[in-house]
Amino acid sequence: MCVYRGMDIATAKPTPSERAEVPYHLLDLVEPSEEFTVAQFQRDARVVTDDIWSAGRRALFVGGTGLYGRAVLDDLDIPGRYPEVRGPLEERAVSDLDALYDELEALDPVAASRIERTNERRIVRALEVTLGAGRPFSSYGVGLTTYGPVRVIQIGLEVESEVLDERIEHRFHRWMEYGLLDEVASLIERPGGLGRTARQAVGYRQLLAHLEEGAPLDECVRDAITQSRRLARRQRSWFHRDPRVEWFQNSDDAASRLIEVLSDADRFVRD
């Protein structure tokens, strides 16, 4: 979500002072009204990484969105876009999402088993690819269930669930103090407003319910914290499935390993 301009606070986007210390990439690429796909992210990340290495520098990948990370690190086969198929599906989803899910279950039961019945965006996407490409959406996911050789050193930091929950709650209240509600309100007023993907961002989606639907603010904040915690657990499960990740209990130990890799990156390069 850091690719969207104006979505700064609840994406934990690096601050201007942090950006002044070291170059950051793939930030503020498009307006929040635009769609930005994992395939676009993969392409742009390849270009940036090549430029960094060509300049004799080291690339440090940071983030918690597992699919986007693997798209870059493992060069995944990503399905195309089929707008002529997607349009009618989106229209049908408004009135009968259950029927779309049933259709996906019949055409690609594997994909359906991985998607919640209420997740409109993913259901439509899975059907778009299945119908448009003429092959099951789940057939593109082979790379997600298998793990190749170590091409990039991945470092993970373990945090106790109770500690993580407290940090997430504290962070969201801090974001509200920083002006997150005003940020969301300003995004609504931008030309084109917020597109479908940007609206799904955790934290933004809940505050939009307050601003656009009149839901009580305190309830929306509680929901945002709950959804953030659930997202963190899904992310943790995703990364724990990858046997290549090196896990550390202590942040100092993780930092030492990070410095070791960055200081002698040539030794860790994989084709």
Please check whether residue 60 is in contact with residue 25, taking contact to mean a CB–CB distance below 8 angstroms. no
80/129 Cα distance (integer angstroms): 7
Count CA within 13 A, CB hemisphere, residue 81: 8
14/8 Cα distance (integer angstroms): 8
H helix intervals, 22-119: 38-54, 66-73, 83-95, 97-107, 109-113
Q: Domains (ranges, CATH) in the chain?
A: 16-78+149-268 (3.40.50.300), 83-145 (1.10.20.140)
Q: What are phi and psi of 80, to 5 degrees?
A: -80, -175
106-161 pLDDT, tens per residue?
Answer: 999 999 998 999 999 899 999 999 999 999 999 886 667 789 889 899 999 999 99
Q: Hey, what are 33's tokens?
A: 């009204």
To the nearest whole percent, how much of the chain has pLDDT over 70? 96
Tokens 């930092």 locate to 255
**pTM higher than 0.85:** no
What secondary structure letter does DSSP report for 246? Answer: E
What secondary structure letter does DSSP report for 245? Answer: E
Please check whether residue 188 is in contact with residue 203, taking contact to mean a CB–CB distance below 8 angstroms. no
Residue 268 has a pLDDT of: 60
175-227 pLDDT, tens per residue?
Answer: 999 999 999 999 999 999 999 899 999 999 999 999 999 999 999 999 999 99
Residue 265 has a pLDDT of: 67
Classify burial at 271, counting beta carbons within 10 Å of its beta carbon; exposed 0-12, middle 13-18, buried 19 or more: exposed
Residue 140 has a pLDDT of: 84
Count CA within 13 A, CB hemisphere, residue 240: 8
